[in-house]
């Protein structure tokens, strides 16, 4: 059994597979705890008995519900991560859950909402190498009453097409195990402490909402959005708009009232990070200047 | 023949201009953001984004003002010619009606 406390989420992995436990513990070694808490997410991985009709399968359960039956051992860790994510909205009904990477810099929350493939995790990784602090690469957890962003520092998942970008950011990937994550293909996981050497971010107000879209070879540009456009786009990436105890739309409206919203066309990672960093450190005028410089280059 | 068609169009325009609509206030939740809004329809669970023009038309749909008056108001607040304002109002009202956000007063 391995129990971890990841910001506002506590999860426990129960399995007889020593290799899986070792990999899980390796990712979260600074986050282990012995104290069970009410509402923790229990993930159990076991092997289904082999029969003449079926190949050997594993069973990945969350809170005693069978969710996945993968056939390969290199699928287990991604599915453990997956079912944990799956259960988070149920475990944390006080939070609004958005599909977004979330980071903290100088006490300001920045969220990067987007669908799979929008480049949010890669951009988050780039900003983390510049001293930003990690909250989560898959969720923005917004407290329904306080409207603050909470940490859920799960391992950062890098997809195979992004390996060269991660290496260009100085992240050594060679020698790390590959895992198969369904339709997303092969991925590698990076431990939260490793990618956020300045520590994990603390709960903070949201100051910037940036919707990235990765376009290969594009010049990075930031385009301001109105607050209503921002809130409308956020509601589309919300997992529990009606499940959160506070009405989700009210929370989103309050979030954008205190934040600036932008669309980001992201391209080459270093220049994209320059642009976003310019926005956060120098405000909209700094970002506009950097945009002009990007186009001029 | 052309005269008859023109008369028919004029009659339609007059009829449209005199129409009054009431915005739905039950089972909707409105969040005003600057001069735009998000309207959440509790019945359908749909969320609608009303830009500046659409939101000002929405606010004007009080069941008392007719479409011609609303278009006239749009001319003043958005600094657009009368014909353009009428086209905007007509298109926006069509979308509101399609989404069940207004009904005839």
Interface pTM (ipTM) of the complex? 0.83
Of A134-138, A259-263, B13-17, B95-99, the one with minimum mean pLDDT is B13-17
Contact of A225 with A284, CB cutoff 8 Å: no
Q: What are the tens digits of pLDDT across the range A125-139? A: 999 999 999 999 999
- Among chain A residues, CA nearest to B39: A249
d(CA B88, CA B93): 8
Instruction: Band the pLDDT of B79: cuts 50, 70, 90.
Output: confident
Which of B27, B30, B47 is the best mutation test for A, with the most CBs of A within 10 A? B47
**pLDDT for the residue numbered A56:** 72
Chain B residues within 8 Å of chain A (Cβ atoms): 29, 31, 33-34, 36-38, 40, 45, 47, 49-51
Q: Tell me, rounded to whole angstroms, the distance of Cα A131 from its chain centroid.
A: 17
Contact of B93 with B66, CB cutoff 8 Å: no
Q: How far is CA B70 from CA A19, A22, B52, B85, B102, in A?
A: 70, 68, 14, 9, 14
The stretch A260-286 carries a mean pLDDT of: 90
Contact of A127 with A103, CB cutoff 8 Å: yes
- Among chain B residues, CA nearest to A257: B33
pTM for the full predicted model: 0.87
d(CA A200, CA B11): 68
A 10 A CB-CB count for B48 gives 19
Instruction: Band the pLDDT of B65: cuts 50, 70, 90.
Output: very high
The stretch A146-166 carries a mean pLDDT of: 93
| Closest CA–CA distance from residue B4 to any residue of chain A (Å) | 45
The stretch A99-119 carries a mean pLDDT of: 93
B38 chain-A contacts, CB cut-off 8 A:
228, 231-232, 235, 249, 252-253
Instruction: Band the pLDDT of A297: cuts 50, 70, 90.
Output: very low
Contacts (Cβ under 8 Å, ≥6 apart) of B58:
B23, B37, B39, B50, B96, B101
């Amino acid at each position: 059994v391995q129990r971890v406390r990841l910001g506002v989420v506590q999860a426990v992995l129960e399995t007889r597979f020593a290799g899986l436990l070792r990999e899980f513990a390796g990712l979260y070694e600074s986050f282990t705890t012995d104290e069970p808490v009410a509402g923790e997410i229990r993930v159990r991985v076991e092997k289904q008995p082999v029969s003449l009709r079926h190949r050997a399968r594993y069973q990945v359960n969350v809170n005693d519900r069978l969710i996945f039956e993968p056939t390969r051992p290199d699928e287990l860790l991604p599915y453990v991560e997956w079912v944990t994510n799956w259960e988070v909205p149920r475990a944390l009904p006080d939070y609004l859950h958005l599909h977004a990477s979330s980071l903290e810099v100088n006490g300001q929350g920045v969220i990067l909402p987007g669908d799979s493939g929008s480049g949010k995790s890669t951009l988050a990784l780039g900003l983390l190498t510049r001293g930003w602090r990690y909250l989560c690469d898959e969720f923005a957890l917004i407290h329904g009453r306080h409207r603050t962003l909470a940490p859920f520092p799960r391992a950062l998942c890098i997809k195979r097409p992004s390996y060269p970008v991660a290496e260009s950011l100085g992240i050594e990937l060679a020698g790390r195990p590959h895992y198969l994550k369904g339709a997303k293909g092969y991925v590698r996981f990076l431990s939260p402490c490793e990618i956020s050497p300045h520590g994990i971010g603390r709960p903070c107000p949201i100051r910037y909402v940036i919707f990235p879209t990765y376009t290969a070879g594009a010049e990075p540009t930031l385009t301001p959005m109105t607050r209503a456009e921002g809130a409308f786009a956020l509601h589309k990436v919300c997992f529990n708009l009606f499940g959160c105890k506070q009405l989700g739309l009210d929370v989103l409206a309050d979030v954008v009232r205190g934040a600036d919203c932008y669309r980001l066309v992201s391209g080459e990672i270093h220049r994209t990070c320059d642009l976003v960093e310019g926005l956060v450190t120098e405000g909209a005028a700094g970002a506009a200047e950097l945009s002009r410089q990007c186009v001029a280059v | 023949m052309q005269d008859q068609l023109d008369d028919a169009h004029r009659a339609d325009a007059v009829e449209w201009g005199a129409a009054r609509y009431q915005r739905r206030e039950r089972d909707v939740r409105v969040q005003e953001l600057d001069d735009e809004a998000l309207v959440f329809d509790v019945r359908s669970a749909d969320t609608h984004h009303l830009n500046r023009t659409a939101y000002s038309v929405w606010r004007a749909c009080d069941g008392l003002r007719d479409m011609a008056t609303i278009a006239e108001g749009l001319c003043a607040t958005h600094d657009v010619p009368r014909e353009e304002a009428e086209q905007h109002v007509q298109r926006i009202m069509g979308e509101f009606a399609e989404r069940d956000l207004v009904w005839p007063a």
